[in-house]
Amino acid sequence: MSPELIETLETGLRALGLSPTPTALEQLGRYCDLLLEKNQVMNLTAITDPAQVVRRHFLDSAALLPTRALQGKRVVDVGTGAGFPGLVLAILDPSIQVTLLDSLGKRLDWLQEVARDLGLENVTILLGRAEEIGLEKQQREQYDTAVSRAVAALPVLSELCLPLVKPGGLFLAMKSNKTDEEIEAAEPIIQKLGGEPPFVMDYRLPGSEVYQRIVTVFKGRPTPPGYPRRWSKIKNP
């Protein structure tokens, strides 16, 4: 990544209230280079312009950090794809233990290589479908927080994510700001899965007029047995 773009990245992160270390900026630069290089042979992202990778992937992912809610926590990124938001969180805050979960092994193999290349020691890779992983004893209700971006509408996403979260933990869904209807539609299943009514925080992506949204669900009670259901049931309840 060019020095100018590193500067744009740093300015954007500071606008979010973050103070990135030189190491983190260097790691993000290298991650961008590796992403765009691999994207030529593997479908990782629709974005091919490094400036847009900075804004749409890095700064958007980093928007989860300013509240400090994730500091020192065990976090699972459900449907991480090319590592968003999870890998960005792991780079910017080494105190977060991040598990990158996806059902596509090839993407995870690449993420493992990137984590190794960047020398990250706080990243774990987990292959599988979230609705199956959420039934496994060693994964169910083991995370302080589940995060997810661009995976499914909130009623479906809640069932993929909330079973992985400990009671007392959080589920943070990264959405556009035009999601009032899906949030309302998700309320019954969130309640069924042990979550409290969601609350919403909208933010502007630094350097743009794009507004995004973090939907926060506090998990007050355990998820009852029988959830998550099979994929066909989750999709067509």
- For residue 143, CA distances in Å to 58, 96, 168 come to 23, 11, 10
Of these, 160, 162, 173, 186, which contacts ligand SAM (CB under 6 A)?
A: 160
Task: Specify the 3-state DSSP secondary structure of 216.
Answer: strand
Q: Which stretch binds ligand SAM (CB under 6 A): 19-27, 75-83, 113-121, 204-212?
A: 75-83
Tokens 């805050």, located at residue: 93
In the bound complex, what is the minimum distance in angstroms from residue 147's beta carbon to ligand SAM?
Answer: 9
Measured from the CB atom, is 47 or 200 closer to ligand SAM?
47
The pair of three-digit structure tokens given for residue 187, joined into one six-digit string: 């309320």
Please report whether residue 55 would count as binding ligand SAM according to CB under 6 A. no
Measured from the CB atom, is 74 or 129 closer to ligand SAM?
129
Measured from the CB atom, is 32 or 101 closer to ligand SAM?
101
Of these, 80, 97, 212, 223, which contacts ligand SAM (CB under 6 A)?
A: 80
The pair of three-digit structure tokens given for residue 87, joined into one six-digit string: 């890998």
- The three-point CA angle 63-65-69 to 5° equals 130
Residues 167-177: b if buried by 16+ CB within 10 A, e if exposed: eebbbbbbbee
132 φ/ψ angles, rounded to the nearest 5 degrees? -90, -40
How many CA atoms, within 13 angstroms, populate the side-chain half-sphere of residue 117?
17
Please report whether residue 107 would count as binding ligand SAM according to CB under 6 A. yes
Of these, 12, 79, 155, 194, which contacts ligand SAM (CB under 6 A)?
A: 79
Please report whether residue 159 would count as binding ligand SAM according to CB under 6 A. no
Rounded to whole angstroms, how far apart are CA atoms 229 and 207?
Answer: 41
Site size toward ligand SAM, by CB under 6 A: 17
| Residues engaged in binding ligand SAM (CB under 6 A) | 79-82, 84, 101-104, 107, 129-131, 149-151, 160
